[in-house]
Structure formats: structure tokens, C-alpha cells
């Protein structure tokens, strides 16, 4: 029981990281499609590993997954560009670009220009610089939305709980949080 409590506490270690992220409001059907695609990709990639064991020289499954997901997004963007070049009407992207406030292994806090309903499902894409395999795609659920004033503008501090994060993604976010906290401690010691 102690190990479980310690692990859960690790999930909630937050790092103040302000980066740009893309967020798309999704419905339950889109969530199921994303989860099924993610499971399919994971299955295909696990079959790429000989005997299921990782070679130290071979790319990791997570690295391949990130690359594959990135390539799928590029393919979608190229399709949109080609459609536009052909003079056809392009469906407007439903992605919003927002700033993160802080990130943990269990969720993220983001600043939105409008309030988002609690319970709303979202698809998040973000790249955290200086983090190994720092490309993240995951779904979450809005758990809070509070009005806040940022630089004289009304914004909404929105808490999102990750609902389909892999254990590897969670561990990378937790490692990032701890790394950032260690860096903050070093800077404080340098000042003193």
C-alpha cells in the first residue's frame, strides 16, 4: 500500500512549465477513435521489436510512437495544404493554441481565452523542449475552469486531467517535473 501511495504522489508533482500547446475539443466518439488509433499504433510497434525485447541500439517503442504520430499529423497538414492549393474549401481546424501554466504526470493547467465546460474531453499536443522524446499527444478531461486576469486580459485557468496517458508518457512528465524542481533548487543555491 505504501508503494501505491508514493507512486500516486509522484503523479502529482507539478512543474511550472509555460509552453505553447495545441488543444482540440473532442466528443466521446472522437475520443474512442483516438484511443483505438493509439492502441493500434502501439500494437504495430510492439510487433516491430524482435521477441518483444528492446535492443539498446534500436529506437524505443515510445520514440517510434512519437515519430509515427508526428508523421500522421504531418500527413493531415499536407492533405489540408493540397486541398487548399486545389481551390477546395478546407474545414477549419478546431485546434486552439494555448499556454500551459504547469504540468504533472496526472494533468496540465492551461490558460484559455474562453471558459470550457467541466467534463469536456480534449485532445492535447505539446512539445516540451529539453525533454527526451518530449512530443506528447494525449486526451484529457476538463476538471476545473476559473476566471483569471493575465496582462489585463480575462482568461480561464483550466485544469485538465489526463485520461489516456501511457505509463511511459507519465514517467517522462514526472521526470521533467523533478528535473525542473532540481534546477530551481540549484538556482536558489547560486543566489544565496
pLDDT at site 144: 96
In a domain, 2, yes or no: no
**Partners of 144 in beta bridges:** 159
Examine residue 73 and state whether it is found in any structural domain, yes or no. Answer: yes
Each residue's pLDDT expressed in tens, for the chain with a length of 192 residues:
445 555 556 666 777 788 888 899 999 998 998 888 777 666 665 666 555 544 445 556 556 656 666 776 676 677 767 777 877 665 656 788 899 999 888 999 999 999 999 999 999 988 887 776 677 888 999 999 999 998 899 999 999 999 988 888 888 888 888 888 888 788 888 887
In a domain, residue 115? The reply is: yes
Whole-angstrom distance, CA of residue 85 vs CA of residue 87: 5
pLDDT of residue 176: 82
Is 3 inside any structural domain? no
> pTM of the predicted model, to two decimals?
0.71
Does residue 6 lie in a domain region?
Answer: no
- Asked if 168 and 46 count as a contact pair (C-beta separation under 8 A), the reply is no
CATH number of the domain that residue 52 is part of: 2.40.10.220
Question: How many angstroms separate the first and last alpha carbons of the chain?
Answer: 40
What is the count of structural domains for the chain? 1
19 burial type by CB count under 10 A (0-12 exposed, 13-18 middle, 19+ buried) = middle
- Which residues sit opposite 139 in a β-bridge? 123
- Nearest by Cα to 160 from 179, 181, 138: 138
Determine, yes or no, domain membership for 109.
yes
Structural domain that includes position 169: 12-191
Instruction: Give the model's pLDDT for residue 55.
Output: 46
Amino acid at each position: 500500500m505504501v508503494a501505491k501511495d508514493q507512486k500516486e504522489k509522484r503523479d502529482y508533482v507539478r512543474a511550472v512549465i509555460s509552453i505553447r500547446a495545441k488543444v482540440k475539443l473532442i466528443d466521446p466518439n472522437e475520443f474512442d477513435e483516438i484511443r483505438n488509433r493509439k492502441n493500434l499504433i502501439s500494437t504495430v510497434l510492439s510487433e516491430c521489436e524482435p521477441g518483444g525485447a528492446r535492443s539498446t541500439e534500436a529506437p524505443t517503442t515510445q520514440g517510434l510512437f512519437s515519430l509515427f504520430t508526428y508523421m500522421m499529423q504531418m500527413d493531415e497538414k499536407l492533405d489540408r495544404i493540397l486541398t487548399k492549393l486545389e481551390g477546395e474549401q478546407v474545414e477549419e481546424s478546431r485546434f486552439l493554441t494555448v499556454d500551459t501554466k504547469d504540468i504533472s504526470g496526472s494533468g496540465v493547467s492551461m490558460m484559455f481565452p474562453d471558459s470550457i465546460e467541466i467534463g469536456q474531453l480534449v485532445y492535447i499536443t505539446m512539445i516540451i523542449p529539453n525533454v527526451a522524446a518530449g512530443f506528447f499527444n494525449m486526451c484529457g478531461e476538463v476538471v476545473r475552469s476559473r476566471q483569471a486576469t493575465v496582462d489585463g486580459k480575462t482568461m480561464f485557468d483550466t485544469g485538465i486531467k489526463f485520461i489516456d496517458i501511457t505509463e511511459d508518457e507519465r514517467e517522462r512528465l514526472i521526470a521533467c517535473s523533478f528535473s525542473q524542481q532540481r534546477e530551481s533548487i540549484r538556482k536558489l543555491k547560486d543566489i544565496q
